[in-house]
Chains A and B, each alone.
Chain A
Amino acid sequence: MPIKKDRLKWIYERMCLIRKFEDHVHDEFAAGAIAGFVHLYAGEEAIAVGTMANLRDDDSITSTHRGHGHCIAKGVDINAMLAEIYGKATGACKGKGGSMHIADMTKGMLGANGIVGAGPPLACGAALAAKLRGTDQVTACFFGDGASNQGTFHESLNLASIWDLPIVFVAENNVYAETTSTDYSMRVPNIADRAVAYGIPGVVVDGMDVFAVYDAAAEAVARARKGKGPTLLEGKTYRYYGHFEGDTILYRTKQEEQSYKDRDPILQFHKRVLEEGLLSEDQLAKIDQQTDTTLKKAKIFAAASPFPEPQECLEDVYVKYP
């Protein structure tokens, strides 16, 4: 089914925003302005945005250490995100989480997560809550190729399949778990091939093509929403930056990197919507400008925000502790 014009604009806007956000964070980390462990999503935008374009505000997602893209696509406030990454009091987590733990329960964003493979069990819980309450909410569970070798992935696919949980498991196969390629870490060519072990559909799509992701996610989300159970959807993608900021990236070739950049999800989208007359040059330029403004405002907000008071370290451990 063709994607509506407003949706197309939203897709372009979100993909641009993610890319610009990540490029900015990259520069700021290099400049020494950001502390800690930072993992960037640039290159993978089509997966978060193509999936989230099929979700409602009241649907839930679980994310990964590479979570900025999921947050932006799910509608987490970009000002609060950037402030969090700088460790500011106005951050999404009041400076207690940082890049790896940005969350917004009010947006159904159940957290970026520092533990590879931790999301799938949590996603089962969110989906179980929806199912037991009789709502038609869906949970999308994002994870990488590395996580697909964790026990939690396998246990969760099994649990979700026997309970027909409304989940879409979205594998972002960016080829490398840190330095280790999927050629080494898996005997099957596709993560989605593992779906057969759990009696659920397994679908492989080009994760650099947001149209392909959108279509596959639409089907998987519809299936989940109808109560027909989970799908394992794999997007083949690539992270443009290293595993973390500071990675020397000595484990892959420049030619390989270029081969993915030649199929850049934003450029591909740009080209296709113009060719097919879906959006105009002007419309795209306007969106481009809007995202510049949005990011600029976020930078100003984050820069102007105070750091937390040191004693705020002691708060938020428990709801109540005598």
Chain B
Amino acid sequence: MPEREITYREAINEAFVQEMQRDPNVILLGEDIAGAPGRDDPDMLDAWGGVFGMTKGLVGKFGSQRMLDTPISESAFIGAAVGAAASGMRPVVELMFVGFCGVCLDQIVNQGAKLRYMFGGRAKVPVTVRTTIGAGLGAAAQHSDCLYSIFTHYPGLKCVLPATPADAKGLLAAAIRDDDPVIYFENKVLYETKGPVPEGEHVVEIGKANIVRQGTDVTVVALSRMVNVALEAADILNKEGISIEIVDPRTISPLDEQTILDSVRKTERLVVVDEDHPRCSMATDIIALVATKAFEYLDAPARMVTPPHTPVPFSPVLEKFYVPDAQRIVKAVMAVVPQKR
């Protein structure tokens, strides 16, 4: 039986409903996650359901005790989520755009990430920080970053990057159930994309990559929304007789090194497609991984397809230039395959 198809947005919402039903300790905190908090008019509650409507309807189902609208005080409410997690709750806290992490990074990386280690393993912090990433909406430099590499850098955090609706649901459930702090990166350009999603309980194991498309000539590791762009490139390349294998790590901390290395050992060529800033990034990290553990298999220098090392520009013309597209992936792949054609 074919699975029903829902959007990435609906998949996230469905995961929330199921996880909140499953565990009364799951609470949500964030700015405008319901909307109009404190208003007496019941029609006003759920005015937004989150800035992108991701949490729409939840306040009606679970009440405002479990859907806590916050003031614009990221340090206080993300820190409170960490404190509540250390005190036995299982909070999911929303950082509206990852670019806002600058105002509250300490609570994530110095508190959430480190409490367990600093306390000799005698505490656990089962908090999920949801945040949105990605360029493509004309949101300019402070609302379009990816920045997942920053969080991957910190021991103590887990980082997940769902690219499909099914993974959006399964990784959110996994993040909420996980006993460690997990940063869950939603690509806001994916919200309306549709795909098959299991209706009932669906949990995707953290730390397992997905081979999105089997191929023989080049391994293309693509992250988050870049998986879809790589699929476009795969169709173009297919017509040229070039078969790429697309690997979506899905979780970047922990990183499923084995799946990436196995693929490279098979294809002997590597292109990494990453929308994050290119320096000290997942792209450089994955290339370093292959260079140190599978160098002898490489038949060509690895390539990375990333934005330029600039902030994200506003003008649609500039933004289009900035974000990697299928043509750039095609070009990079062509550069690593033998010039026989």
Contacts and interface: CB of A to CB of B under 8 A. Distances in A.
B86 interface: yes
B110 interface: yes
B49 interface: no
Interface in A270-322: 315-322
Contacts of B116: 316-319
Interface of B: 27, 65-66, 68, 70-71, 73, 75-89, 91, 103, 106-107, 110-111, 115-124, 155-156, 158, 178-180, 206-207, 254
A122 B118 contact: no
Given A118-B79, A122-B80, A318 B158 contact: yes
A320 B121 CA distance: 11
A152 B68 CA distance: 19
Nearest to A134: B65
A106 B109 CA distance: 24
Looking at A111, A118, A318, A319, the one whose CB has the most chain B CB atoms below 10 A away is: A318
B86 A110 contact: yes
A60 B87 contact: yes
Contacts of B78: 121
A149 interface: no
Contacts of A130: 87
B120 A121 contact: no
A111 B118 contact: yes
Contact of A115 (B89, B106, B117): B106
A111 B120 contact: no
Rank and list the top 8 A-B pairs by shortest CB-CB distance, nearest first: A121-B79, A125-B83, A316-B121, A94-B120, A155-B76, A122-B83, A93-B120, A125-B84
A319 B180 contact: yes
Interface in A71-106: 91-97, 101, 103-105
Interface string A96-136: 11000101110000110111001011111110111011000
Given A101-B119, A115-B106, A132-B65, 6 more contacts: A110-B87, A125-B84, A155-B75, A158-B71, A318-B180, A322-B254
A158 B180 CA distance: 28
Contacts of A123: 83
B79 A94 contact: no
Interface residues on A, range: 35 or more
A138 B116 CA distance: 23
Contact of A93 (B80, B84, B122, B180): B122
8 contacts: A92-B122, A103-B122, A111-B123, A124-B79, A155-B76, A158-B76, A321-B207, A322-B254
B254 A159 contact: no
A155 B107 CA distance: 13
Contacts of A118: 79, 106-107, 110-111
Contact of A121 (B91, B107, B123): B107
A121 B83 contact: yes
Contacts of A152: 75-76, 79, 106-107
B110 A318 contact: no
A174 interface: no
A128 B80 contact: yes
A111 to B, nearest CB: 6
A129 B88 contact: yes
Contacts of A125: 79-87, 89, 91
A228 B19 CA distance: 32
A35 interface: no
A151 interface: yes
Nearest to B206: A322
A155 B156 CA distance: 25
A138 to B, nearest CB: 13
B83 A105 contact: no
Contacts of B124: 319
Contacts of B71: 155, 158-159, 162
A95 B116 CA distance: 13
Contacts of A132: 27, 65-66, 84, 89
A96 B118 contact: yes
Given A105-B86, A322-B254, A95 B76 contact: no
A148 interface: no
Contacts of B158: 318, 321
A306 to B, nearest CB: 14
B293 to A, nearest CB: 17
A139 to B, nearest CB: 8
A231 interface: no
B26 to A, nearest CB: 11
A92 B123 CA distance: 12
Contacts of A151: 75, 103
A156 interface: yes
A113 B80 CA distance: 15
Given A158-B73, A162-B71, A97 B120 contact: yes
Interface in A144-201: 151-152, 155-156, 158-159, 162-163
A238 B180 CA distance: 39
Given A122-B82, A124-B83, A132-B89, A159 B156 contact: no
A28 B86 CA distance: 33
B75 A93 contact: no
Nearest to B87: A129
B88 to A, nearest CB: 6
Contacts of B81: 125
Contacts of A101: 118-119
A163 B38 CA distance: 11
B122 A318 contact: no
Given A121-B79, A121-B83, A317 B155 contact: yes
B37 to A, nearest CB: 9
Nearest to B256: A322
A106 to B, nearest CB: 8
Looking at B68, B84, B158, the one whose CB has the most chain A CB atoms below 10 A away is: B84
A93 B207 contact: no
Contacts of B117: 96, 316-317
